[in-house]
Amino acid sequence: MRSRRTITYAVIAALVVVLTLVLGWFTTPRTTGLEGQWETAAVRGEVLGGRALVSSDANVAIDLVSGTRITLGSVSGGSRAVGAGRLLVLNDSVLDGAGLDGRSRWTWQGPPAHRLRLVAAGPSMTVVHACGGTPGGCRLIGVDNNGRQSWQTPQPTATGTSAPVVGKDGNLPTVGVLTAADGTLLIIDPGSSRVVLRPAADASVGRDGALTLSAASDGRCERTTFATLDKVTVLTAPGTCETTPPAPALPTRATATRSGVWWWPFGDGRPTLEVGGRHTGRVVSRAPLRSLRVDDLGLTVLDGEVVRRYSWVDRE
């Protein structure tokens, strides 16, 4: 009799263990709504232009869309920016550029005794603002994707301009803008070298280099966004531009949180990124998580020491 009871208790104990393991497997938080595309070892640095993770110690960058890693081994220091799929490093009068796809690498030597500043980056051209020389003056120079000067034009105002408008994260606009002393805006097309004058407005650089001009007009806020000089979107909303926030640039957002399970009350859960908006999903990891880029094709995250790209499962 005791033998039967022992066997019964052993079977019950085994079933409890199995049930616990199955329950644990089904209820453990895991990544959902996303499919892995690629991963690569991370670099310690910052995201520039919402497009590339650039090392703080060297000019090494990881394209957050393709996963391509590029290195400007012969370049050190300098002011770095990203625009139109290129990493640009400006050192005094020398501009180095490399395509984030790894297919191009070039160096351009600017005019001597000039101060150079980056203005804009179009698909095939980078615009540089050069001031100095004898006699002193400023000009705009277009540098192509082979590092050759394609065009040059004198600065079209004798009153001087402020610094070019560039995104705080090193995001170069696809259409350049300079502000004259009287507030007039000089809008520069990288491809054609055309310069168009616009009334005074607040200029900012948004997602993927889109330039937005905000100005009040008849009790409304008018926002003009340039994808290119000829591709313009105008939106108006009642109120001032200060009290009327712009429309969200990203229809999908990732929010950092932590995930836990009801049957394990210890600890504070696993690092999690909850994705909502146009696309939905969740990334769960044992390592710290950080969202690097969200777009309509997928999500790129820093997962501990690894950069990982996911595509949306629900993408149409």
> If you ran DSSP here, which 8-state letter would residue 209 be given?
G
- Look at residue 163 and tell me whether its pLDDT is greater than 90: no
Give the global pTM.
0.84
Q: Are 178 and 161 in contact (CB under 8 A)?
A: yes
For 72-238, CATH number out of 1.10.3720.10, 2.40.128.630, 2.160.10.10, 2.60.40.1580 equals 2.40.128.630
pLDDT, one tens digit per residue, over 122-136 is 999 999 999 987 666
What is the rounded CA–CA span in Å between residue 42 and residue 304?
8
Range in 14-18, 94-98, 155-159, 180-184 the model is least confident about: 14-18
Alpha-carbon distance values, 71 to 38, 68, 97, 293 (Å) = 19, 10, 11, 21
The residues that bridge with 235 in the sheet, in sequence order, are: 223
Average pLDDT over residues 230-247: 81
Q: Are 59 and 87 in contact (CB under 8 A)?
A: yes
Alpha-carbon distance values, 15 to 23, 26, 270 (Å) = 12, 16, 28
Residue 25: the pLDDT is 47
Max avg pLDDT among 38-47, 159-168, 249-258: 38-47
Q: Are 40 and 30 in contact (CB under 8 A)?
A: no
H or E segment to which residue 73 belongs: none
Range in 156-165, 210-219, 266-275 the model is least confident about: 156-165
State the number of CA atoms in the 13 A half-sphere of 274 facing the CB: 8
Q: DSSP 3-state assignment of 278?
A: coil
- Look at residue 119 and tell me whether its pLDDT is greater than 90: yes
What is the rounded CA–CA span in Å between residue 216 and residue 200?
10
H or E segment to which residue 12 belongs: helix 2-27
List of residues 6+ apart from 248 with CB closer than 8 A? none
Q: pLDDT > 90: what percent of the chain?
A: 58
List of residues 6+ apart from 280 with CB closer than 8 A? 33, 314
What is the rounded CA–CA span in Å between residue 89 and residue 97?
6
Residue 134: the pLDDT is 67
Average pLDDT over residues 30-41: 92
H or E segment to which residue 232 belongs: strand 232-238
- Segments of 122-208 assigned E as strands: 125-132, 137-144, 149-154, 176-179, 185-188, 195-198, 202-205
Q: Are 241 and 224 in contact (CB under 8 A)?
A: no
- The alpha carbon torsion through 216, 221, 225, 231 (nearest 10 deg) reads -90
What is the rounded CA–CA span in Å between residue 204 and residue 220?
18
Q: Are 88 and 172 in contact (CB under 8 A)?
A: yes
List the one residue out of 169, 167, 145 whose CA is nearest residue 64. 169
Q: Are 66 and 53 in contact (CB under 8 A)?
A: no
Helices marked H in 28-77: none
- Look at residue 162 and tell me whether its pLDDT is greater than 80: no
Residue 57: the pLDDT is 82
> If you ran DSSP here, which 8-state letter would residue 88 be given?
E
- Look at residue 181 and tell me whether its pLDDT is greater than 90: no
Mean pLDDT, the chain, as a whole number? 86
Residue 315: the pLDDT is 56
- Look at residue 158 and tell me whether its pLDDT is greater than 70: no
- Look at residue 38 and tell me whether its pLDDT is greater than 80: yes
What are the residue ranges spanned by the domains of the chain? 24-37+250-312, 72-238
Q: Are 240 and 220 in contact (CB under 8 A)?
A: no
Average pLDDT over residues 85-93: 92
List the one residue out of 74, 73, 76, 96 whose CA is nearest residue 86. 96
* Higher pLDDT, residue 31 or 316: 31
